[in-house]
Chain A
């Protein structure tokens, strides 16, 4: 399972936790009504997962950086595509103020290959090409897409301005999971968060083997948050999530 084929795991991942979710169904945010955002701006979107699973996930974007952050377990996966062929990847553990940095060679030994477009689009850039355009949605500049891909039914409300879905529903075997954009996260908050993460104590992934007695690393390893596998996505207990393929 290469990373580029498992982006859908993001939908189940960071936020498929066991905490009690807010079942209140809010409408997707309409970013252009209150913010004049564009695809290249610094901003964030908080998604709420409802239906068969519950959880919260924040997508943070700043220039070539994209991070997915689960505020409940404090784990983030932070990509920087400034050098497109050699993206850097950092796993953030905010509650411990620690990071694990993955360099190019590390990603290769883990067989992790990602698409910048997929990361930046909440893993729906390729999906849209396989769905049917159903017309405009309620938010200005947003469109509805729908269709079946590999026994999964998808419905997407896509914001052209943000380059992100405002709503994504996945139905499989009669169960539906729905990601809904709940709120926009302002630029200063995103920048502050990324800046704070930058200051955390860091460990190179390659050095973990020499530092497994580090209590933090031992805890994260035991919980499954750090492993030498293709998984980069975990539930709140650190269990790798096996997402459905969307390609």
Chain B
């Protein structure tokens, strides 16, 4: 995709906003059945019908129409009021996770917990988001984040390519790439940033800057030869080879080995990089950007002069970064999500044209998959702290959205007394409404925890003291509030799964009024696009 493709789409689409999935050859952006024919690109080649998804893709057009409708009736902020946009995503942060984390954070401060509010729960607008993908009721992070940042729902496993593509089929995705808000922001001359505690090449951050029919194509080593031969590129290389604007300004997270050749040994671990193509993308970053820096530990990160460093790459782990609960124990030292957010904003705010920043708390999802609520909650609180930093640093001209890509089968159960430890066993109230003297028990007389999972690996701490009569462990024997404890699960599965119910979205700043009620996930892109007028700014900046 080159800039001329975007111009082309904008001139051919019936709407002012038209973001294209055209190829990089300036193909004809022919539109849908009712639209006018597109003009030829610079090389004069005609494209295929439907390449301009902005006019024919149902997700895109419906989202666009919804925003247009709302803007005529209820929105008080005019289009383009937001100079900057910050998008926070808690990976797997369902509503039950928010509630539990809210209580957990309050109890960590010595309070009863229920009255606490996570930082973003103070935002003036909120809504519920439907997360299904175009082919699954319960999605993974690839189509959900693609929907959030591109306005188009797609199939599971696919990153910022429309669902015209087939997962894992390289050629099926070519020409069906959909443009992200971050890409538009770069074209508009804004500064951009991607921050994640997961690998930077993981599905959620990847959807902001790359296009792939397979989320697992994170390095060239992960790709089949046929895909490489067909011209598909791995996700890590797409970050470095990013073609828009003056390149992504800030990229902070994990996944170092995906950027290193297999001939180079990691500075923190005795492991080689995983790239087979010999490219060292970390050195390419500093070569490409004369004002760039690459760091891989917290000390280096804090030493970066953000007033002179305008392209900052930080890769703090071989794979995903540590859980927040374990971060202080990391040998090389890792920054917190709040620290990464803070310094990212220091870099991005220097651009008078504004910025787009995406911040992901990527490990909430992993802790839930492992059935380990404590780590999931601690990472959610870390996200809250990162949002708090943004609230302090961002001016009133900044739209801040906080949402999740999908939920988990995580539950808050029983009737615990107010203030009962959220990670603890359920202790109810007695006849007078005071805390009961004993724990609440199940039909076998066994206590249970407030938090649990509908499926997953279940009870932690091994199998030493399983109660063979009830087939439940006697939790009286365990410290269920320990960080390593794994909550029980109803359906035994290797890995706890995502859930299909709605997630929450919170908003503040210009355009935040559009975030209300029950919405499709792809609408969030259109909210950001409306608030920041990204497409128009991108178009204007090309002229």
Give the CA-CA distance A208 to B493 in the complex, in Å.
Answer: 12
Assess whether A96 is interfacial by the CB under 8 Å rule.
no
Binds B, one of A71-79, A108-116, A148-156: A108-116
Assess whether B365 is interfacial by the CB under 8 Å rule.
yes
Assess whether A139 is interfacial by the CB under 8 Å rule.
no
Whether the Cβ atoms of A204 and B495 lie closer than 8 Å is: no
Separation in Å of the A178 CB from the closest CB of chain B? Answer: 27
Q: B216 — which chain A residues lie within 8 A by C-beta?
A: 211
Count CB-based A-B contacts (< 8 Å). Answer: 106
Q: B462 — which chain A residues lie within 8 A by C-beta?
A: 1-2, 6, 111, 229-230
> Nearest residue in B to A229 (C-beta to C-beta)?
B457
Assess whether B318 is interfacial by the CB under 8 Å rule.
yes
Q: B461 — which chain A residues lie within 8 A by C-beta?
A: 1-2, 111, 230
Whether the Cβ atoms of B463 and A242 lie closer than 8 Å is: yes
Assess whether A239 is interfacial by the CB under 8 Å rule.
no
Assess whether A20 is interfacial by the CB under 8 Å rule.
no
Given contacts A210-B203, A212-B495, contact A103 B319 (CB under 8 A): yes
Assess whether A23 is interfacial by the CB under 8 Å rule.
no
Q: A101 — which chain B residues lie within 8 A by C-beta?
A: 319
Whether the Cβ atoms of A106 and B495 lie closer than 8 Å is: no
Give the CA-CA distance A103 to B477 in the complex, in Å.
Answer: 29
> In residues 478-496 of chain B, which contact A (Cβ within 8 Å)?
483-484, 486, 494-496
Separation in Å of the A101 CB from the closest CB of chain B? Answer: 7
Q: B140 — which chain A residues lie within 8 A by C-beta?
A: 210
> Nearest residue in A to B221 (C-beta to C-beta)?
A201
Separation in Å of the A221 CB from the closest CB of chain B? Answer: 4
Separation in Å of the B349 CB from the closest CB of chain A? Answer: 32
Whether the Cβ atoms of A105 and B323 lie closer than 8 Å is: yes
Please tell me which one of the listed residues A64, A105, A228 contacts residue B363 in the complex, with CB atoms under 8 A apart: A105
Whether the Cβ atoms of B495 and A109 lie closer than 8 Å is: no
> In residues 72-108 of chain A, which contact B (Cβ within 8 Å)?
80, 82-83, 85-86, 88, 101, 103-106, 108
Whether the Cβ atoms of B319 and A109 lie closer than 8 Å is: no
Q: A221 — which chain B residues lie within 8 A by C-beta?
A: 494-495
Whether the Cβ atoms of B318 and A103 lie closer than 8 Å is: yes
Separation in Å of the A42 CB from the closest CB of chain B? Answer: 15
Given contacts A86-B331, A227-B457, A242-B463, contact A206 B496 (CB under 8 A): no
Q: A83 — which chain B residues lie within 8 A by C-beta?
A: 269-270, 331
Assess whether B298 is interfacial by the CB under 8 Å rule.
no
Give the CA-CA distance A106 to B366 in the complex, in Å.
Answer: 9
> In residues 203-245 of chain A, which contact B (Cβ within 8 Å)?
204, 206, 208-212, 221, 226-230, 242
> In residues 443-496 of chain B, which contact A (Cβ within 8 Å)?
456-457, 460-464, 483-484, 486, 494-496
Whether the Cβ atoms of B319 and A204 lie closer than 8 Å is: yes
Binds A, one of B33-41, B62-70, B176-184, B368-376: B368-376
Whether the Cβ atoms of A1 and B367 lie closer than 8 Å is: no
Give the CA-CA distance A86 to B496 in the complex, in Å.
Answer: 25
Please tell me which one of the listed residues A108, A198, A209, A230 contacts residue B497 in the complex, with CB atoms under 8 A apart: A209
Give the CA-CA distance A222 to B372 in the complex, in Å.
Answer: 21
Whether the Cβ atoms of A228 and B457 lie closer than 8 Å is: yes
Assess whether B141 is interfacial by the CB under 8 Å rule.
yes
Separation in Å of the A14 CB from the closest CB of chain B? Answer: 19
Give the CA-CA distance A210 to B330 in the complex, in Å.
Answer: 25
Give the CA-CA distance A141 to B38 in the complex, in Å.
Answer: 85
Whether the Cβ atoms of B203 and A110 lie closer than 8 Å is: no
Please tell me which one of the listed residues A88, A103, A227 contacts residue B494 in the complex, with CB atoms under 8 A apart: A227
Q: A204 — which chain B residues lie within 8 A by C-beta?
A: 319-320
Whether the Cβ atoms of B269 and A209 lie closer than 8 Å is: no
User: Can you give 28 contacting A-B residue pairs, CB < 8 Å?
Assistant: A1-B464, A2-B462, A82-B270, A85-B329, A103-B318, A103-B319, A103-B320, A104-B326, A108-B323, A108-B483, A109-B367, A109-B371, A109-B375, A111-B461, A111-B486, A201-B222, A204-B319, A206-B319, A210-B141, A210-B365, A227-B457, A228-B369, A228-B486, A228-B494, A228-B495, A228-B496, A229-B463, A242-B463
**Chain A interface (Cβ within 8 Å of chain B)?**
1-2, 6, 64, 80, 82-83, 85-86, 88, 101, 103-106, 108-111, 198, 201, 204, 206, 208-212, 221, 226-230, 242
Known: A109-B367, A227-B457. 17 other contacts (CB 8 A): A1-B462, A82-B269, A104-B322, A105-B363, A105-B375, A108-B323, A109-B371, A110-B370, A111-B486, A198-B272, A204-B320, A208-B494, A209-B366, A209-B497, A211-B216, A228-B371, A229-B462
